[in-house]
Structure 1
């Protein structure tokens, strides 16, 4: 354990003791003061000073109570407003109820209902997932990689750290994000930077000069978020890694150093992680290509689009493969040692229902995927992290080469393609016997709609509204999931502006929404604003268009979705005109 970790441990013990003494059960004290205040109200003229003193004390306790429940509710949208203690309390209870794992189905299909059995099922799953598959043949894959990292890049990546660089990394990260195993939020680092910066600079300098990261510093908790309502299997939970903030400073420094060099390192076909490359570009191109496949009428050339689903893409990257790829790309030994130190010193602890299990060390797992760029058939491909689309001619040779290339890549990297979740979309002119033959070779199902790509529909027919109605449904679920009786109008205003009206922003960047759909979304939000719940209809005293006016003109400043949609599309058009090479 480093000196910094020892200092944190001592500080945490002192803070725990101080918290128990300073912040006792506020509920009991609040109830007692309220009772005293009620008694004094009967003879308020004689108790003016005492009443004023009790009110001041009550306001302070209520403020602390609200802060307590807000921190535990994980509500991020509310920055200010009136007291919402009841709402935060209900949100905390609801979140804990949703995330509670009472039972789980094990690999053998039997239910595990004891806390010990549930924990064992998750730990066995992650240990197997994070265990290396052993020696592999990667020469054929590595031969496809060309050196792209220059000596100047390497010198910049491995330069000595400065206090300013360390501070920038620390303050670029969210202060209230969930803490790691040591329990210290970013708020602690930001507020007391003047006291702790020398210690931070000390262990950061040790790291950059080649010293290994101490195990406690790189301890990580795995918390589990349900992917679907009422999950049954371990795979139906999404694992979230909670790292110590001190470790995140180290990884942030590396990320900041690498960021300006990414456009020179990453292929132009990969749009993730690179500044000035936008996710919308991939969606626009994918949507146009699938649309072209649907309209193709020629009887001579058959084409297809393959959508690949990588099974646990980030978790299956083999460490030795990552190291070899970095060597092949031209990174020097100093940089590779820094990256591999971050990757290989981690140890995980699975948290079940708030209780930690035993720690275990993985032999593979990664926070960023690896991209293949190899020869073979003439392919046009779109890559965004692990979301991959391949467009090519529907020929036997191409369909035989794709599995061969994927198998070579997976054997080298540890990746695994889920064939049942992958699919193939053929051009409309492709005969059924050709479709059946190609799908048999690929081992993937033939579909008319590839589903969603990067969260948005890849295609639709004449009814665009049906393809986008999920946006309205999502907003409906959100507003009806909030406890209206716990929220004032000020709270509802903040919710509508900061949460509900942000839901359609992403698809509105790409697609023009039907006017009728925009009006239906407005109707859902208006019902929430006036307190409507289910069949309990409320009178709308002012129409939604008036509420959309600025506050100084008598409205509430709610966004007009139709006009907002047009503004976003105009922005995209302008960007494409100014940067045609982005597509």
Structure 2
């Protein structure tokens, strides 16, 4: 069933476009908003638009067209701002609501109230679409001015109360554009929402924002279809199997029956045989748990009825047995959906089956690829075409490009690795080291092509441990790796809300678990020596190097961007396209050789990379089987380390060019030394002078690095930010580098880099992220205890990264805490429940009558204490930079020109010193911990306002 909603702003001028849309997309139901034509002419347009039925109201704001041979519409309910009608079409029997929200947000409140009331009795699938004349979050607005917060909250609350889902869409982000007194504005005023019953009914639901011409609103198309097959689903080990008393016996019998020898090939064959045996065992032991539940429910109903008619002990026993069997099936169903949901923050008992089921349904719909553009820009909609295009794209991504000599990049890499290091890296692992790697890996992580996850290997270690150890040892001997051992699946993770091409997905590799055990052993060994070879400017994946330090240093560099110097200061944000997937194996091997890694270790690394076979998982079904010729696998334990080692070619060469003056460095004035660049994996900021000669040399350097390493700078996503003394040559810089000009604030490592204090309009993305994590279906399906866990471990944690490096405006903290309070108390009868306690009281510990939620204001101050402690006691690159910049012979009185960070440190200095003392060796100690070491929890307890323990707490937890 296809349905189109469009605010045409005049049907007469849009009629021909509407007809072409109805023919192109085979529209069954058309909702026309603002026809601006007399009601008497509505019937005249039926044939012109390709329909034979029309329904209108006297208000003349919404018209509904349909073809009676395809769908049946009835029970129309008209209002000035909406129309409800019942639809019968094939398998769909439900309701559709067409919306035209009033321009006045106060009048729109009647629309929100009516929708909430209508949803209260809704027991059928429900589609709601049209022009709402409101946005649901700040990200749906672009242009000058800040949208009305009250209007956004009203609409967001309505979506929550109606339990509607806003699915991803194809097409442009904004559905309306217009000119206001302060310039052009873009907003997403039009959308289509659905309820959970639609998710159950349809296999595929696709929403598209079509071209707006000739109206200023975009048409909204929703396509619903059933019975779509994406191919066979692969084997997956189910964690619930381990709870059955015959599971271990079944595994032992199957394992002992196989005589395929040891090593990697033997392990692959044993797992293949076990897979077949477990499938048969599952069919006999568990069967179809969903069908079994229906049978058990009928059995319980029958035995209960029999017991009511004849309450004998025998009938009571039958009734009890049937109920016990049903409860056991319910537990299995919950475990099944819980494994599929794979939610890390949720503890046992904090959610029910409905929550896990809803989570999986919505996630699957969000990630299902129903249409995609291929490399030529052609729109693909059929499953075979999408699968073939995915294979073609990733084959091309992992193919080798012509390589050039890398000496101009590699000559600056010194030999550092010793013979002892090489022996440690390449030695044969013992069983204990292999077992440690098994236990270090996530047991609930998604399995690779063989279908076995970490839970299986932990549970069955007594049976399979010896064979796993032999396979890992064979890997370290350098024996050729069989395809069944090294094969991986590429899972496509969307990088945007509405990916339109395969380049907008992040490819994550799911390797077989034992293959990851091998690389985990290598990674653990390599991590112990990385600090010797990785430059101080790189902070990614390094023990002892903090992402917050990197963001803080970037903020300090930005603070100096307007320093007066010839050429001015320039910041370049480099976006490396598919950085992990483009790493040249030859370049990586050459970098390892330069550092002094042994031929044996390099052989182990290259053997693992070159033995890989890849298939692309498209909508859950593997497509293709090909060998990559470059790149490191995202999701593999060793890959992050290999990537940052390869990136050392960039770091060391750039540092040398700046030290020699070939590329003129960034000017910090008399405050601190210049930093050439900051890198965290593929997120790179480069700081340099804006002189044209310097910029041209930098461009030449980037070209050499790209040619040698296989990396490619995405010029469309890379950007240049100029200080005020470089602004006059900004156009020249743009033309020279081929990158876009940008302005502050800019995003780096999830933090806004800006001059001065953090402002409300910088935080719209943070608020939107908060809203996504507190969606209405979670509130509906979680108990209050489950909602509390989500608030503590998810919602309360979202701002932590920002608080670790910056302050939040009071208005933002107030909005976030209001949203947490509304989520916790929930709603009843589609009305917000009464808040029985203030948020400040809920943020106290349980002994003081609170719930242990942390206050954002107190957290912010706690992080300031943490920054103070790091500055006072740390010995990192960041400490060296800060001490050099603000070294004033112990005087920490801030200057007006100092950065907001340093002013925070100065403001809390006296309070922090009151919680510290010096031991006999002159070492500063944190007095609030017996160890003398700082902890964020102790700082939070020190900062917060303490209340008296409640009477109820004392009575419940009496010491006697």
Band the TM-score falls in, shorter-chain normalisation: over 0.9
Q: Where does 1:395-474 land on structure 2 (aligned, <5 Å)?
A: 395-432=691-728, 434-449=729-744, 451-460=746-755, 462=757, 464-474=759-769
Q: Does 1:86 align with 2:382?
A: no
**Which residue of the other structure, out of 81, 106, 118, is the alignment partner of 2:386?**
118
Counterpart in the other structure of 2:367 = 99
Instruction: Give SS of 1:137's match.
Output: coil
Q: Would you say 1:146 and 2:422 are equivalent positions?
A: no
- Take 1:481 and 1:575, find their aligned partners in 2: how far apart are those partners? 40
Q: Deviations along 1:480-531, whole A, 9 cap, x unmatched?
A: 2543222211221221122111111111111122333222211001111111
Task: Give the one of 246, 263, 266 matched to 1:3.
Answer: 266
8 Å CA contact retained: 1:221, 1:242 = yes
Q: Which moved more, 1:486-495 or 1:119-128?
A: 486-495
**For 1:31-70, what aligned pairs fall within 5 Å after superposition?**
31-40=297-306, 42-43=308-309, 45-46=311-312, 47-70=315-338
Which structure 2 residues correspond to residues 228-243 of structure 1 after superposition, within 5 A?
228-243=496-511
Between 1:354-363 and 1:537-546, the stretch displaced more is: 537-546
Aligned residue runs from structure 1 range 466-545, under 5 A: 466-532=761-827, 536-545=831-840
Q: Gaps spanning 5+ residues in structure 2: where? A: 1-263, 633-638, 658-662, 666-675, 879-960
Preserved CA contact (<8 Å) 1:119 1:357 = yes
Native 8 Å contact 1:307 1:450 kept in 2: no
1:239 is displaced (CA, Å) by 1.6
Q: Counterpart in 1 of 2:611? A: 345
Give the alignment of 1:352-367 within 5 angstroms.
352-366=618-632, 367=639
Instruction: Assess if the C-alpha contact under 8 Å between 1:460 and 1:467 holds in 2.
Output: no
Aligned counterpart, 2:602: 336
Change beyond 3 A, Cα 1:311–1:332? same
* TM-score between the two structures when normalised by the length of structure 1: 0.95
Aligned partners of 2:758 and 2:807 also within 8 Å:
no
RMSD across aligned C-alpha pairs, in angstroms? 1.9
Equivalent of 1:29 in 276, 290, 295: 295
Unaligned runs of 5+ in 1: none
Aligned with 2:625: secondary structure? Answer: strand
Separation in 1 of the partners of 2:768 and 2:850?
Answer: 26
Distance in 1 between residues matched to 2:374 and 2:847, nearest whole Å: 60
2:546 aligned to which of 256, 271, 278: 278
Q: Which residue is equivalent to 1:73?
A: 341
8 Å CA contact retained: 2:403, 2:707:
no
List per-residue Cα deviations over 1:538-559 (Å, max 9, x = no partner). Answer: 2212222222222333332222
Mapped contact 1:381–1:389 kept (Cα < 8 A): yes
**1:430, CA displacement in angstroms?**
2.8
**Aligned-pair CA distance for 1:125:** 0.7
Q: Secondary structure at the match of 2:763?
A: helix
Alpha-carbon distance in structure 1 between the residues aligned to 2:790 and 2:687: 42
The corresponding residue for 1:12 is 275
Structure 1 consecutive aligned stretches of length 4 or more whose deviation exceeds 4 Å: 460-463
Q: Could you tell me whether the CA contact under 8 Å between 2:448 and 2:511 is conserved in 1?
A: yes
Greater Cα offset, 282-291 or 131-140: 131-140
Per the TM alignment, residue 536 of structure 1 is displaced from its structure 2 partner at its CA by 3.6
Q: Structure 1's 419 and 534: CA in aligned 2 closer, same or farther, altered over 3 A? A: farther
Question: 2:141 maps to what in 1?
Answer: none
CA distance in 2, matches of 1:146, 1:578: 31
Distance 1:71 1:30, change over 3 A: farther
Aligned pairs for 1:104-253 within 5 A: 104-253=372-521
Q: Conserved in 2, the CA contact under 8 Å of 1:576 and 1:582? A: no
Is the contact between residue 536 and residue 877 of structure 2 (CA under 8 Å) also seen in structure 1? Answer: no
Counterpart Cα distance in 2 of 1:318 and 1:348: 17
For 1:176, what is the secondary structure of its paired residue?
A: coil
Give the whole-Å Cα distance in 2 for the aligned partners of 1:269 and 1:533. Answer: 53
TM-score by length of 2: 0.59
- Is the 8 Å Cα contact of residues 286 and 458 (structure 1) preserved in structure 2? yes
Q: 1:268 aligns with which of 536, 549, 553?
A: 536
| In 1, Cα distance between equivalents of 2:748 and 2:418 | 35
Which whole-Å CA distance do the structure 2 matches of 1:87 and 1:160 have between them? 46
Contact preservation (8 Å) 1:44, 1:51: no
CA distance in 2, matches of 1:132, 1:431: 40
* CA drift at 1:82: 4.9
CA contact (8 A) 1:313 1:415 kept: yes
Q: Distance in 1 between matches of 2:299 and 2:835?
A: 40
CA contact (8 A) 1:74 1:92 kept: no
CA distance in 2, matches of 1:534, 1:315: 51
State how far apart, in whole Å, the 2-side matches of 1:462 and 1:10 are: 62
In structure 2, distance between residues paired with 1:96 and 1:560: 34
Aligned-pair CA distance for 1:461: 5.1
Partners of 1:228 and 1:236 within 8 A in 2: yes
More strand as a share of residues = 2
Q: Contact 1:104–1:111 (CA<8 Å) still a contact in 2?
A: yes
Equivalent-residue separation in structure 2 for 1:263 and 1:481 (angstroms): 46
Q: Give the match's secondary structure for 1:2.
A: helix
Change (3 A) 1:402 1:300: closer
Contact 1:180 1:242 in 2 (8 A): yes
Larger radius of gyration: 2
Query: 1:559 maps to what in 2?
Result: 854
2 CA distance for matches of 1:256 and 1:226? 30
Q: How many residues align?
A: 580
Structure 1, 50-59 or 557-566: larger mean CA deviation? 50-59
For the residues of structure 2 that align with 1:151 and 1:13, how far apart are their CA atoms? 47
Secondary structure of 2:726's partner? coil
1:475 to partner: Cα distance: 1.1
Match of 2:886 in 1: none
**In 2, Cα distance between equivalents of 1:534 and 1:406:** 61
Is the contact between residue 720 and residue 739 of structure 2 (CA under 8 Å) also seen in structure 1?
yes
Query: What does the per-residue CA deviation read over 1:268-313, in whole Å, with 9 as the maximum and x for residues that have no partner?
Result: 111112210111111001111112214x3x3645111111111111
Matched, 1:302 2:568: yes
Residues 456 and 361 from structure 1, CA distance in 2 versus in 1: closer, same or farther, beyond 3 angstroms?
A: same
Residues 1:386 and 2:654 aligned together:
no
Task: Name the SS of the counterpart of 2:754 in structure 1.
Answer: coil
State the alpha-carbon separation in 2 of the partners of residues 109 and 477 from structure 1.
Answer: 30
